[in-house]
Chains A and B, each alone.
Chain A
């Protein structure tokens, strides 16, 4: 993708200044935004961290259950598993 885009770039032999006309139009169309952060976001980040403890997804639990069942019904699998570790 990157290579394709780089190639296209060369083909068009673009420069950063070719787009002055549209740049001016866009700058006139868009109101400037205030870049200053108005408040400290740490309390909000902390609340989010507390609210969403890291959970083990269901498919991990399913994998653990399947492995446990396999080892229970076929104990020799433990040896095979240990050999490959």
Chain B
């Protein structure tokens, strides 16, 4: 019996194999969205736990990685929704590489502040498309929507960001 079928039947050994195979992919997708390694680890564990609980809904002939990524995206989205905008989205540990010297710290903080105020759905789409430069079709698949819908979310995010940045006195480079 193949691995997917054994997993769907609840075999813990099959699940362990899948976890070891896909945990890195799930983590990297989540950390791209939440941008905090500690939170991303917790959400990865939560995602894998939910995957096991939802194993009956998994079609053994389906794509496990894509299914896992979709569950991961939903959890990351919920996390951003729960999070207050005042909380820091971007953890910059001491000694972390700075993104670029071109932008002053104050300007960077203003941009991050404006970004955190975006609705979670728009924030996720904009992070994945603009900051992480992920392909639109992959984003759409992970968010369970169409490529067009992702583009609209990115467009809306840009429109809101432009407005907020201009109110904060920041002009995009």
Give me the interface of A with B, judged by CB distance under 8 Å: 1-2, 5-6, 8-10, 12, 14, 16, 18-19, 21-42, 44-45, 48-49, 52, 54
Interface 9-residue window, one of B19-27, B57-65, B70-78: B19-27
| Cross-chain contact A37 with B23 (CB below 8 angstroms) | yes
| Cross-chain contact B173 with A9 (CB below 8 angstroms) | no
| Cross-chain contact B45 with A44 (CB below 8 angstroms) | yes
| Cross-chain contact B112 with A29 (CB below 8 angstroms) | yes
| Residue among A1, A27, A45 facing the most chain B CB atoms (10 A cut-off) | A45
| Cross-chain contact A49 with B152 (CB below 8 angstroms) | no
Give me the interface of B with A, judged by CB distance under 8 Å: 16, 19-20, 23-24, 27-28, 31-32, 35, 37, 41, 44-46, 48-49, 52-53, 90, 92, 96-100, 102-103, 107-108, 111-112, 115, 126, 130-131, 136, 145-146, 148-149, 151-155, 158, 161-162, 172-173
Given A6-B146, A45-B49, A49-B52, decide whether A30 and B103 contact each other with a Cβ distance below 8 A: no
Residues of A near B20 (CB, < 8 A) are 40, 42
B36 to A, closest residue via Cβ? A33
- In addition to A6-B146, A6-B149, A9-B149, 6 A-B residue pairs with Cβ atoms within 8 Å of each other are A8-B152, A9-B151, A28-B173, A31-B98, A42-B20, A48-B46
Given A2-B146, A27-B100, A34-B37, decide whether A41 and B32 contact each other with a Cβ distance below 8 A: no
Residues of A near B151 (CB, < 8 A) are 9, 14, 16
| Cross-chain contact B92 with A31 (CB below 8 angstroms) | yes
Residues of B near A21 (CB, < 8 A) are 172-173
Given A25-B172, A31-B99, decide whether A19 and B49 contact each other with a Cβ distance below 8 A: no
Contacts between the two chains (Cβ within 8 Å), count = 133
A9 to B152, CA, bound (A): 6
Given A28-B100, A29-B99, decide whether A9 and B148 contact each other with a Cβ distance below 8 A: yes
A42 to B24, CA, bound (A): 11
Q: Which of B37, B45, B155, B158 contacts A48 (CB 8 A)?
A: B45
| Residue among A34, A36, A41, A49 facing the most chain B CB atoms (10 A cut-off) | A41
Q: How far is the CB of B23 from chain A (nearest CB, A)?
A: 5
Residues of B near A38 (CB, < 8 A) are 37, 41
